[in-house]
């Protein structure tokens, strides 16, 4: 016989009588989740908050199921305690407070609204005023949280200062990083902070090459074009070189280089040489002179040349005026870069960065696929005559004193550290500066040679004419993390404490470090310490006891994680991240991989990566973008050593166990993400940072990118929340006091005030970009150009090159 409603029950509408027990059950289940998860966290040495929260939520759920107003009282006490705990744990960091409080305060607001109904059912006065007052207060709190989700949270400069005038950076964009020194600085000031809001599309060009990369290891557009005179030179992901009119976007010529390669396909840039220009000889005492060349006559073809590395390891020279191969270069315009490497099929050996013109030497490195096999092509760096293509020298990290090509039947030393990122040239000393990677297997170093250990993860300075070593500086000892130096060094004039300026270079690393080195000696100009680090337990692994840390410059996104740094969209996934974090071995920046689960933060993607820095020489400022992605690594003992992978680096996003050929292990790697596919540590996940070289401190730091175009489980979020997303590519700074950036996860090109970090303009792109913006002036009109082929992790792809300019005035 069913229970009849009491008189007090009749005070509650039937829908509420039925609904409250159901809500109570949901509250009970939520409480049990926190109770069980909190117990697991305590067992791993974590916070007691979640277990106590689970008890409070269970009590709330039970009382709601009984339709008792005490449920709301219990919940409000829990909510107040949560707010106090959150402030105690993380202070007033917005995103940290948001994840701890917002979900619970929303629930509290709704519960407060039903207090009058519950009290009526208990035969009590409704207390509408108090209930609705509490709901109103929580509504204001929630409104504040919602508002804060759409406001960038960072460190901003106080006020704009006028751009510093100067003559730097007003030439053509003739090298990958604008200048041979990699400054990414265009000194033109026609587009400035005041009028940038008026920028509009001047022209759009379609390359006809849409990159496809379903797993992040396929084809991607990451180019920065060149500009010489009135011509813009493009390279598409599949190695089609295109010349267009820089003012109109009209195509002049194209030359395609078809390839069957499908893994890690991209072209980041080109190189340019004009044989009619006088040679620039070094001015630093003791420097080797730039070699003379046999320049073609005035009417000869290929006086101006465009060079490209193809993804299948060819070095090609094209006539910049018509796109035809230069017949006098190599074998009718082409050099096979696999010569002398032994077994080096694509994609195990590829070219992913532009060649470097260093005086009259064309210098190339090469990407050797990571973590495939102990037997891989060598990372030899070679210098070729810019006109004939004849090899002038080779620097073999396994035989650094021998600069000749291997004799017949021999090859350059196998599996040596390689240079896959762009290089930098200093004409004042005729020196090439190279960011060096590691030997073939990053995660297991038992069989590395003494020379592998010497050159791995270092900056290497070579004489551009002879290939002789001048110096090298190591950024990681015995690297087991894939912390190769990922970016082009940038040449700067570094202000010292005594007011003098020293010719220097600065380079960022995947570990969030910035190293400032004297160009002539390679000695650090700011403080670098040797930080003691903990080893792991892999047998016979010669772990380094210390690692270099650049403490004299800001460290970007490289703080040591702690429990309180774990994050989630809600407390639900935040708890899961805290449990995961406590379940891994984590000793800070250099946590060595082992057969357990080791957390590396930043992971092998960075930190900073190949996009490089931009440098305003007039203001003495550098601008750095970074991503903050952790990576967990698990080595698995292999009874049967499997064959090598195909060199696809999408393993960094999780591909199951990948065999490390020739070693006793395979590896499983994945990003340190919550179940929702969001980084487990607190935002931002990507930022733009301005650093004052005089004070060696951060001037401002702002989040880069929103979640507007991010997809969770295939659903686009559409929320312009400026949380700061992982970035790839680099920034452009200009004489107009602006920093341009496009390589975020959302589809925008943005401009920031270079003094304050405030966003002053943005333009919606048809798809995302992984490129670096560039700028030039034609007939007195300044253009900003970006290549947009699709953001990393995005299914939306295109073949766009877009130029922006101010509207024509009459």
**How many beta carbons lie within 10 A of that of residue 675, not counting itself?**
12
3-class DSSP state for residue 139?
helix
**Residue 348 near residue 367, CB atoms below 8 Å:** no
* DSSP bridge pairs for 186: 734
Write out the DSSP string of 452-508.
Answer: HHHHTTEEEEEETTT--EEEEEESSSS--S-----S--EEEEEEPTTS-EEEEEEEE
Nearest CA to 804 out of 743, 737, 730, 751 is that of 751
3-class DSSP state for residue 636?
strand
3-class DSSP state for residue 343?
coil
**Cα–Cα distance for residue pair 179/613, rounded to 1 Å:** 13
User: Which residue numbers are catalytic?
Assistant: 482
634 to each of 322, 398, 601, how far by Cα in Å? Answer: 52, 30, 14
Nearest CA to 762 out of 699, 720, 711 is that of 720
Output the 3-class SS for 554-618: CCCCCCCCCHHHECCCCHHHHHHHHHHHHCCECCCCCCCCCCCCEEECCECCECCCCCCCEEECC
**Cα–Cα distance for residue pair 37/572, rounded to 1 Å:** 9
What are the two backbone dihedrals, phi and then psi, of residue 569, each rounded to the nearest 5 degrees? -65, -35
Nearest CA to 221 out of 234, 232, 233, 231 is that of 234
Peptide bond into 319 cis (omega under 30): no
**How many beta carbons lie within 10 A of that of residue 187, not counting itself?**
23
**Cα–Cα distance for residue pair 384/480, rounded to 1 Å:** 33
**Cα–Cα distance for residue pair 202/801, rounded to 1 Å:** 11
Element (H, E) at 30: helix 14-43
Element (H, E) at 102: helix 94-113
* DSSP bridge pairs for 254: 242
Neighbouring residues of 503: CB distance < 8 A, sequence distance ≥ 6: 426, 428, 491, 493, 494, 518, 519, 520
Output the 3-class SS for 503-558: EEEEEECCCCCEEEEECCCCCECCCEEEEECCCCCCCCCCCCCEEEEECCCCCCCC
How far apart, in Å, do the first and last CA atoms of the chain sit? 90
**Cα–Cα distance for residue pair 235/555, rounded to 1 Å:** 34
């Amino acid at each position: 016989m069913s229970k009849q409603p009491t008189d007090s029950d009749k005070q509650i509408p039937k829908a509420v009588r039925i609904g409250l027990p159901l809500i109570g059950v949901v509250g009970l289940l939520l409480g049990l989740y926190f109770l069980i998860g909190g117990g697991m966290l305590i067992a791993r040495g974590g916070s007691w908050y979640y277990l106590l929260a689970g008890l409070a939520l269970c009590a709330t759920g039970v009382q709601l199921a009984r339709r008792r107003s005490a449920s709301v009282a219990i919940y409000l006490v829990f909510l107040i305690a949560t707010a106090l705990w959150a402030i105690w744990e993380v202070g007033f960091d917005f995103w940290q407070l948001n994840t701890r409080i917002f979900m619970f305060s929303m629930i509290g607001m709704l519960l407060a609204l039903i207090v009058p109904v519950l009290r009526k059912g208990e035969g009590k006065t409704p207390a509408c005023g108090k209930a609705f007052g509490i709901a109103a207060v929580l509504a204001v709190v929630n409104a504040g949280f919602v508002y804060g989700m759409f406001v960038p949270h960072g460190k901003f400069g106080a006020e704009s200062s006028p751009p510093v005038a100067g003559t730097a950076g007003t030439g053509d964009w003739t090298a990958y990083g604008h200048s041979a020194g990699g400054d990414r600085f265009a000194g033109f000031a026609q587009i400035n902070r005041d009028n940038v809001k008026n920028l509009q599309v001047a022209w759009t060009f379609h390359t006809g090459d849409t990159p496809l990369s379903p797993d992040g290891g396929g084809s991607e557009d990451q180019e920065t074009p060149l500009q010489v005179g009135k011509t813009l030179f493009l390279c598409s992901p599949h190695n089609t070189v295109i010349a267009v009119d820089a003012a109109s976007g009209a195509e002049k010529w194209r030359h395609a280089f078809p390839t069957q390669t499908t893994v890690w396909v991209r072209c980041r840039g080109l190189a340019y040489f004009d044989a009619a220009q006088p040679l620039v000889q070094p001015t630093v005492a003791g420097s080797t002179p730039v070699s003379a060349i046999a320049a073609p006559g005035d009417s000869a073809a290929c006086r101006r040349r465009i060079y490209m590395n193809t993804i299948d390891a060819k070095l090609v020279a094209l006539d910049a005026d018509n796109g035809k191969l230069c017949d006098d270069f190599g074998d009718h315009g082409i050099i096979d870069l696999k010569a002398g490497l032994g077994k080096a099929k694509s994609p195990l050996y590829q070219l992913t960065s532009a060649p470097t013109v260093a005086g009259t030497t064309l210098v190339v490195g090469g990407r050797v696929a990571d973590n495939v096999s102990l037997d891989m092509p060598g990372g030899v760096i070679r210098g070729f005559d810019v006109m004939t293509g004849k090899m002038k020298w080779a620097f073999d990290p396994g035989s650094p004193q021998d600069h000749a090509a291997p004799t017949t039947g021999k090859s350059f030393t196998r599996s040596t550290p390689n240079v896959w990122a762009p290089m930098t040239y200093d004409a004042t000393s005729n020196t090439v500066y190279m960011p060096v990677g590691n030997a073939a297997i990053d995660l297991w170093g038992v069989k590395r040679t003494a020379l592998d250990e010497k050159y791995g993860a270092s900056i290497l300075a070579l004489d551009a004419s002879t290939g002789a070593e001048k110096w090298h500086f190591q950024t990681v000892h015995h690297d087991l993390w894939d912390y190769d130096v990922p970016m082009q060094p940038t040449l700067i004039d570094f202000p010292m404490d005594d007011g003098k300026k020293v010719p220097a270079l600065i380079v960022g690393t995947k570990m969030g470090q910035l190293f400032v080195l004297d160009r002539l000696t390679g000695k650090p100009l700011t403080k670098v310490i040797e930080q003691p680090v903990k080893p792991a337990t892999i047998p016979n692994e010669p772990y380094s006891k210390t690692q270099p840390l650049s403490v004299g410059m800001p460290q970007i996104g490289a703080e040591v994680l702690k429990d309180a740094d774990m994050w989630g969209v809600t407390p639900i996934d935040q708890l899961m991240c805290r449990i995961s974090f406590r379940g891994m071995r984590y000793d800070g920046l250099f946590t060595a991989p082992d057969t357990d689960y080791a957390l590396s933060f930043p992971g092998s993607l960075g930190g900073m990566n190949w996009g490089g820095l931009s440098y305003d020489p007039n203001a003495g400022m550098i601008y750095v973008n970074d991503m903050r992605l952790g990576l967990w690594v698990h080595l698995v003992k292999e009874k049967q050593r499997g064959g090598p992978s195909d060199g696809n680096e999408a393993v960094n996003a999780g591909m199951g166990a990948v065999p490390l050929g020739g070693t006793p292990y395979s590896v499983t790697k994945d990003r340190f993400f919550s179940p929702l596919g969001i980084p487990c540590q607190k935002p931002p996940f990507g930022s733009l940072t301005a650093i004052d070289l005089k004070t060696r401190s951060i001037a401002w730091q702002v989040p880069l990118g929103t979640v507007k175009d991010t997809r969770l489980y295939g659903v686009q979020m559409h929320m312009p929340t400026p949380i700061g997303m992982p970035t790839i590519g680099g920034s452009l700074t200009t004489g107009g006091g602006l920093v341009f950036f496009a390589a975020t996860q959302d589809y925008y090109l943005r401009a920031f005030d270079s003094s304050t970090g405030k966003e002053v303009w943005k333009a919606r792109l048809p798809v995302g970009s992984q490129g670096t913006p560039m700028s030039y002036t034609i007939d007195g009109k300044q253009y900003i150009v970006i290549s947009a082929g699709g953001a990393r992790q995005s299914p939306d792809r295109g073949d766009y090159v877009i130029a922006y300019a101010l509207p024509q005035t009459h």
